[in-house]
Chain A
């Protein structure tokens, strides 16, 4: 089976940096993706790591270590609009599996 573990909630202040971790256990591994979901909205794609290392997209970066079965999403220069839930996900034989999500609360 597939299992992705994330912290349930993280709180940070505006302008700070926050890291959201994801550890996974999969029978096969084809990369790790990250999605953002605002309350009442649909998940939207943020980033994808197929190989080890860091992927940077503006204020957001994602890191993967396949040897540690671990990845994280790094959000810099936090803004109030970053308050949302963040999900890690991995594909496996035409199925995509999601973690239970991390709720990020950004405070002024």
Chain B
């Protein structure tokens, strides 16, 4: 069972560079989201999608862009990396229509450092 797969696991960027974090899920979940996790601050929602072609902003969307062209994929783009974006990023998916719709499945995380 692959579940939620995100890549890369580790990345170092220079300030101003752009990059894309990839995320794919094989559970046919409608709902996908991206979170960032900083020490002592829990998980904060960046962007989310309720289905292919539909995305919306979360709590901390500035500096990030997303698209959802297929049910399976939900990439996160950093447009111009800043040191404040140094964090651990988690992709997640769930299916509100399922009986356990409030179960969120997370990817393994991507550790991003911006220097």
On whether A94 and B31 interact (CB within 8 A), knowing A99-B42, A100-B41, A100-B42, the answer reads: yes
B45 touches A96 (CB 8 A): yes
Q: Which residues of B contact A94 (CB under 8 A)?
A: 31, 48, 50, 56, 96
B102 touches A95 (CB 8 A): no
Q: Is A48 an interface residue (CB 8 A)?
A: yes
Q: Which residues of B contact A87 (CB under 8 A)?
A: 42-43
In whole Å, how far is B105's beta carbon from the nearest beta carbon of chain A? 8
Q: Give bound CA distance, A23 to B50, whole Å.
A: 27
Q: Give bound CA distance, A97 to B109, whole Å.
A: 18
Q: Give bound CA distance, A82 to B103, whole Å.
A: 20
Count B interface residues, CB 8 Å.
Answer: 26
A43, A48, A91: the one within 8 Å of B100 (CB) = A48
Q: Which residues of A contact B43 (CB under 8 A)?
A: 43, 87, 89, 98
In whole Å, how far is A86's beta carbon from the nearest beta carbon of chain B? 11
On whether A96 and B104 interact (CB within 8 A), knowing A87-B42, A87-B43, the answer reads: yes
On whether A8 and B50 interact (CB within 8 A), knowing A43-B106, A44-B106, the answer reads: no
In whole Å, how far is B68's beta carbon from the nearest beta carbon of chain A? 13
Q: Is A83 an interface residue (CB 8 A)?
A: no
Q: Is A71 an interface residue (CB 8 A)?
A: no
B106 touches A95 (CB 8 A): no
Q: Which residues of B contact A98 (CB under 8 A)?
A: 35, 42-44
Q: Is B33 an interface residue (CB 8 A)?
A: yes
Q: Is B75 an interface residue (CB 8 A)?
A: no
Q: Give bound CA distance, A8 to B91, whole Å.
A: 24
A95 touches B103 (CB 8 A): no
B45 touches A95 (CB 8 A): yes
The residue in A48, A95, A96 that gathers the most chain B C-beta atoms within 10 A of its C-beta is: A96
B33, B48, B96, B102: the one within 8 Å of A33 (CB) = B102
